[in-house]
Structure 1
Amino acid sequence: MTSQTHTTGHTDRETPSAEQIRRAPKVLLHDHLDGGLRPGTIVDLARENGYEALPEADPDKLGIWFREAADSGSLERYLETFAHTCAVMQTRDALKRVAAECAEDLAEDGVVYAEIRYAPEQHLEQGLTLEEVVEAVNEGFREGERRAKENGHRIRVGALLTAMRHAARALEIAELANRYRDLGVVGFDIAGAEAGFPPTRHLDAFEFLKRENNHFTIHAGEAFGLPSIWQALQWCGADRLGHGVRIIDDIEVAEDGSVRLGRLASYVRDKRIPLELCPTSNLQTAAATSYAEHPIGMLRKLHFRATVNTDNRLMSGTSMSREFEHLVDTFGYTLDDMQWFTVNAMKSAFIPFDERLAMINDVIKPGYAELKSEWLFRQTVSTSTSAAK
């Protein structure tokens, strides 16, 4: 199905420049800690911890290797990338460093609020407990926020604790997320292969979280399709859908351009269920064939609660600014569109309502208003200069 270019009705389109995209306040809901390390940090930590299996010792070459492996089309090579990052994230100091740099990098890219997910059970190989993993990562996020502030950037980072679908620790991780819910952890997630490992295998974890009035998202509708989305929502009660891009399979576009939503797609839109869309990552996993064909264009046009995310910044060679650059180039999106996606994401965050509202009214809307004023000023100057000639 071909996505259609979104139009806003502007006569003069407020198409943002790359510099304006970077400066625009952005909100990130779907990003994996072990998928966003700096290549130089991986090399440093491997050396410090005696890890000798890296495919490249030069940071630049290593970064290229990660992107090429993720683009290879080989599931084995793709999974190998995470084996390397997790291998160097097995000590308190390593986790703290990675988390701090994550917050710094996002803040430098204009992200003002982020929820970063990771699986504590994947960082126990050198003797850390689950609690020590969570505390190290939380400490790193706070350090990163402090450093960002010193550099003139504002960011708030919350953690999502992830359980792996193929393992049997979901309830344990859910309980862990609940214990740390007021100490830096804002919710729960499950990740891993969808096919063969439905979310219903972990119903005890989701029932526990619902009893505790806690928040959770579920990776669904990326590789497996509509049944995965239906189970995540109707059996498990997910607050958000991790990816959810395959909801497009329940939307039909007729030859005359008219659109018909199936019952599941209608439910997702009517209930304002957030979709954590990750365009570049979806291209790598073949959930979409190109940016132009990515369902985000149609989902934006139909006013689903669509959000823009990075998934794995290292493996995808991306950032929030790059994701928006692709969408601006492909669909002609404006600053208004960027603000729409950003407000969607902030509305969908797992922090209290009053704090979300304050971020929208005090940070996001003023930030975009300033950028739009700059754009109008430049247009006025440009018009005046042309007239003078």
Structure 2
Amino acid sequence: MTTTSSRTQHGPPLHPGEYFRVDPNGPEAHTDPVAVAVQHLVPFLGLRAVLPVPDSPTRQWVFRYESYLEEGKEKGEGHLRVKEPEYFLAEVDTGLDGDSRLVRGARPLSEWASLAGLGQLLAFLPIPDLQNKDGASHYWAFHIKDGQLVFRNIEIKHSSGYPDTVKHNDRPVAGEFASLDGIGLITSFMPVPEEEKTGGVNRFRVFSYDREWKLMVRTISIKDGGSHEDSLIEPDSPVTEAEWEAALDGVTQLGPVVPVVPKPTDPADIFRFNILHFKPGWEATLRTIEVKKGARAFTVKRQDSPLNTVSRFFGEVVGFLRDLVGKISEWLSAAWNEITQFVNGVTTYFHAAAGRLGSLAAGRPATGEDR
């Protein structure tokens, strides 16, 4: 299975109207054509980013790109269309087993003045020393626009309706963030436990995909202050290495990483995060990982569970994926069957032709079967 999209530093272009075709010579067509053909779009299907409501410990805005398949004029051709992005408001209970509820249904992203003209949203990063300051909070919004990784500074006020504005418009990450130099496609940021606001320095782990679509992680630091000086602490390494091997084993298509808000009775020396990711077949899944105070290696606290079984709200957000993957599978299967029948017919013809040539070479007349 191939795509006509070309690779860039940040992967293939991520925009509506991705175009795919069946390649009968592609060995991957015999394995998992859906996952291979559109694997780079999986992180952008269903859940794209989660942004905590600034003055609420339990409310979150969830951003979604809903996709659908538009079949092409010829067999094996099609366009994966992306609808206008939407956002939801959710309430998530504290603790490991906290349930989530829909507070307000899907609304267009165009309601956010600060996100006007956004490309493909990747993730939000809270600006460390500008949280809950003077009645507002600031965030960097990272996105892909015109094939370039860019970011903008947005402000959300802590008042009715949460008015939002752009404080600094889009700038390229290259040259502005030394700590993100050479990074691929960012999928999420994760605060480093115990290393937030330590001596005016804040550390984050950044998950991204490299050019080969391998999931990588690096550690960066950002200082408080006007310039927010940043540094690379640990360069990219695969999540298959020791520190992450147990916690992220089997995670290849990573979505948002969301801190679990602890209950008052939860141990103070344990930090937990919900990992939202997609399994083959685009099954939206949730896993909870944890790390103890003073330790580096994370472990799995809650094993993978289908998102619709652990969260009614998130299950609703990604519900369209079940229909989409079914239709794409059916579409690709029909196209592949037609190509296979054609190839089999050609193969039979050449086998018969080879038999006739063999008979002639041996000086034997061609039989009726040969004809």
TM-score category (smaller protein): under 0.3
Question: TM-score if structure 1 supplies the norm length?
Answer: 0.25
Where relative contact order (Cα < 8 A, 6+ residues apart) is larger, the structure is 1
More helix by share: 1
Larger Rg: 2
Question: TM-score if structure 2 supplies the norm length?
Answer: 0.26
